[in-house]
Structure 1
Amino acid sequence: MGGTTAYNGKEKGGSGHNREARSNQYLRCLYTNARSMGNKQEELELLTNKYNYDIIGITETWWDGTHDWNVGMEGYGLLRKDRQGKKGGGVALYIKNVHTWTEVEMNVGDSCVESLWVKLKGVKNEGDIMLGVYYRPPSQVEEVDEAFFKQLTKLSKAQDLVVMGDFNYPDICWETNTARHRLSNKFLDCIGDNFLFQKVEKATRGEAVLDLVLTNREELVENLKVEDSIGDSDHEIIEFMILRKGRRETSTIEVMDFRKADFDKLRELVGKVPWEARLKGKTTEESWKYFKGTLLRAQKQTIPLCRKDRKYGKRPAWLNKEILHDLKIKKESYKKWKLGQLTKDEYRQATRECRGKIRKAKAQNEIKLATGIKGNKKTFYKYIKSKRKTKDRVGPLLSEEGEAVTGNLEMAEMLNDFFVSVFTEKSGGVPNVVNTSRERVSLEDRIHKEQVKNHLGKLDVSKSPGPDEMHPRILKELIE
């Protein structure tokens, strides 16, 4: 039931656009047993930023409520199940925000089995993809094993199923599909009865194949690689492709791309307008409309728009070339260790050095954000928000017909219909208007240029434009 074949897609080089076009044809996945994510979150962010994973499965997160402030990753939704009542364990799934997914709750052994299941929306005419992550502690009792087998049996009927996790059956020989112990043989019977294929061939911890990837279609999972580890975990990373497309949500919102703005041209266009002649004889309202229209036309000519995209998490602010170089050295050290060219202590030393520099760079960035909070609160709080536990997702909602609704538009319409239905209609005419006294406000006869420049200079360029569509960054660029 093993075996992997090479995937023909080329990954090296190419532009970001081409990289995204290729990744639309499959789902790029990473799985690992972290043995505590507490000191490995930053390295996971680096790998995610570099390789653009769609799905990330993790076992032994060792998370609890105290970790809520540092588990989020920008560009990804997070589903997690922490172990209750004692330390260790825990499973998590990160799913890129462009995908539509819903959690599948299991009635069988849901509280005792450390597993998570999601249904990822597939493209039209191809059906959905069932994804799971599972952790089986070495001392797990047979009753919990049986509960997981029931979950697996139920979900293996899905059109496409992929399960990743640490199953902890070190005695199984996957070349012959045999095992020495009774519980291991029961597991082999379960995957055989459900016609599942096991795709991992190389050892994932020491000499044992503990971490597995199961699927109900052998050709669904390809290009599987076992290499390196996150931080000092004694389990290795598994990377693989699911040869299916997920339904992708694309944003239609466009924003100004200030990186490509031509502010010199903007100032030139606005500066050559004969304002006094154009505004002469106009009312206040007419003058405002002319000013706004002229400025927005100049803005359109000099500042291109770009789609507000959710495809990628942004590159971490603390990431630099030195860290990328150390990450590369760590990966090369792993390969040399596996080939016997380095000792395990030398590989661990490379791991420690890489982790130390990541922590130092992150700490320096956080100090910079904290000391600069007075000048730019938005950046500080945006960073804090991105690191906190991800917000709860809306839906799925249950329609009157009993069907699950997952589409954003359909859910919005359902919620709107519900709110309309509970509005209280009040009868009666228009209430009497009470006369109020009005104070006369004195206005300055003239507004001086220096006053305007002073106010424009205080604008916060990190804020969004209001209903007048004038961005504070543009107004500030036009001070002189």
Structure 2
Amino acid sequence: MGELEYLVLNEEIDIIGITETWWNEENLWDTIIPGYKIYRKDRAGRVGGGVALYVKDNVESNEIKILSESTCSIESLWIEIPCSNNKKLAVGIYYRPPDQDSDTDIEMLREIREATKIKNSIIMGDFNYPHIDWIHVTSGREAEIKFLNGLNDCFLEQLVQEPTRGEAILDLVLSGVQDQVQDITVTGPLGNSDHNIITFNIPVVGRTPQQSSTLAFNFKKGNYTKMRRLVKQKLKGTVTRAKSLKAAWKLFKDTIIETQLKCIPQIKKHSKRPKKESPWLNHHVKEAVRDKKVSFKKWKSNPSEINRKEHKHCQIKCKHVIRKAKKDFEEQLAKNSKRNNKMFLSTLEAGSLLKNLWVP
């Protein structure tokens, strides 16, 4: 999530789609990106898979269901957003496992067909059809031919023309309206992923003014003496009896949230929200991300083995630098939590703490 946060902070991104999240019910706090609403569909019953969409707070959105009933477990998610032309746009994301059976393929195409009937739609995702020739829109594989025929029936055009994993175009962007999707770019992968990032513009997305009129805690005027007393009373003897570290953390987190409502006044915010950097984002992280981008461009322009290895090295280094920066910040925050209550609580409120942070 660290590199994703960096990307979000440095680019004006309204909607983020992620496939193969590998999330489950334990992934709650560590999926939060401040300033974004998250929609997610985790794979049920087994590990892997899953899809998610992040939508910026100033883009109105809501989740929609395309098929009222389905006999198959399609890994997909749909949201609806308003457009500047007073119409609605449906945005869907799919993850199709390489071993998906034909019945689920049929159901997936049925869902796509229904979506294009009722809404102006943009679809993105990892469809895992490696043998399709997207220049000539052909394939020699039966499953891929059925998929191409399904897209043709829905009048959908596939817009990605560069490889997204190795030499294959697995990650697709589909649209049925000309010029609805613009400026498609394929860039280097995120983290340790072996799939490249795809970015594009949707010119018709409507936005509300990015300002807040919600209640926010005024940490400067908090009664921390009272808060310490209440937390101590609430947690006395209970944390050590918790059955697991996860249960102890939940108890501590819930206690902090409950007591801050009693001890910290709230104010109404109306001002525009400035762009904030994550507190762990230091110059080492920025340098590592920049080096990774440069090495990918170099490898893309000259795909030699030396350049591939250099990019892989930068990719691994970037991951370690981000992980270290976040760990150092969390350890320092935990160490100073008694002296700097305001910093700890504001970080907790913003959702910047990872789920495994523990303050002794």
Answer whether TM exceeds 0.5 for this pair: yes
Letter in 2 for 1:140: Q
Alignment of 1:339-350 (within 5 A): 339-340=302-303, 342-350=306-314
Superposition RMSD in Å: 2.5
Gaps of 5+ in 2: 216-268, 355-360
Are 1:363 and 2:323 counterparts? no
SS in 1 for 2:303: coil
Closer, same or farther in 2 for the Cα pair 1:185/1:254, shift >3 Å? closer
- Of the candidates 352, 372, 381, which is equivalent to residue 316 of structure 2? 352
* 1:331 matched to 2:293: yes
- Whole-angstrom CA distance in 2 between matches of 1:101 and 1:311: 22
- Counterpart code for 1:349: H
- The alpha-carbon distance between structure 1 residues 103 and 249, as it changes in their structure 2 partners (threshold 3 A), is farther
Change over 3 Å in CA distance of 1:51–1:145 after alignment to 2 = same
Residue in 2 that maps onto 1:374? 338
Distance 1:208 1:311, change over 3 A: farther
1:77 Cα deviation from its structure 2 partner = 0.4
Please state how far the C-alpha of 1:254 moved relative to its aligned partner: 10
SS in 2 for 1:156: helix
- Quote how far apart the aligned CAs of 1:309 are: 3.1
Indicate yes or no: 2:111 matched with 1:151.
yes
Native 8 Å contact 1:97 1:310 kept in 2: no
Deviations 1:340-394 (A, max 9, x none): 35332221111111111111111111112112222333432332341479xxxxx
Please name the residue that 2:5 is paired with.
45
For the pair shown, the structure with the greater C-alpha radius of gyration is 1
Q: Distance in 1 between matches of 2:212 and 2:186?
A: 38
Is the alpha carbon distance of 1:181 and 1:79 closer, same or farther for their aligned partners in structure 2, counting shifts above 3 Å? same
Report the counterpart of residue 114 of structure 1 in structure 2.
75
Q: Structure 2 CA distance, aligned partners of 1:117 and 1:110?
A: 18
Q: Work out the CA distance in 2 between the residues paired with 1:249 and 1:111.
A: 40
| Corresponding position: 1:309 with 2:272 | yes
Letter in 1 for 2:82: K
Cα displacement (A) at 1:88? 0.6
Contact 2:212/2:273 (<8 A) preserved: no
- Contact conserved, 2:82 with 2:205, CA < 8 A, in 1? no
- Give, in angstroms, the shift of residue 220 of structure 1: 0.3
How far apart, in 1, do the equivalents of 2:132 and 2:14 lie?
30
Query: Aligned equivalents of 1:144 and 1:159: distance in 2?
Result: 22
**Structure 1 CA distance, aligned partners of 2:136 and 2:113?**
23
Q: Does 1:190 align with 2:150?
A: yes
Aligned length: 300
Secondary structure (helix, strand or coil) at the match of 2:179 reads helix
- Cα distance in 2 between the residues matched to 1:250 and 1:206: 39
| Cα gap change, 1:118 to 1:252, in 2 (>3 Å) | closer
Whether the aligned pair in 2 keeps the contact of 1:55 and 1:93 (CA below 8 Å) is yes
Contact 1:91/1:134 (<8 A) preserved: yes
Does the CA contact (< 8 Å) of 2:81 and 2:205 recur in 1? no
Kindly state the Cα deviation for residue 111 of structure 1 after the two structures are TM-superposed: 6.1
1:107 alignment partner AA? S
Cα distance per residue 1:214-253 (max 9 Å; x no partner):
0111210010011101012111000110121324154364
Report the equivalent of 2:87: 127
Q: Determine if contact 2:213/2:270 at 8 Å carries over to the other structure.
A: yes
Moved more, 332-341 or 359-368: 332-341
TM-score, with structure 1 as normaliser: 0.59
Answer yes or no: is the 8 Å Cα contact 1:108–1:147 preserved in 2: no
Whether 2:35 is the aligned partner of 1:75: answer yes
Contact 1:44 1:230 in 2 (8 A): yes
Using the TM superposition, give the Cα deviation of residue 49 of structure 1 relative to its aligned residue in structure 2, in angstroms. 0.4
Report the CA distance between 1:310 and its aligned residue.
4.8
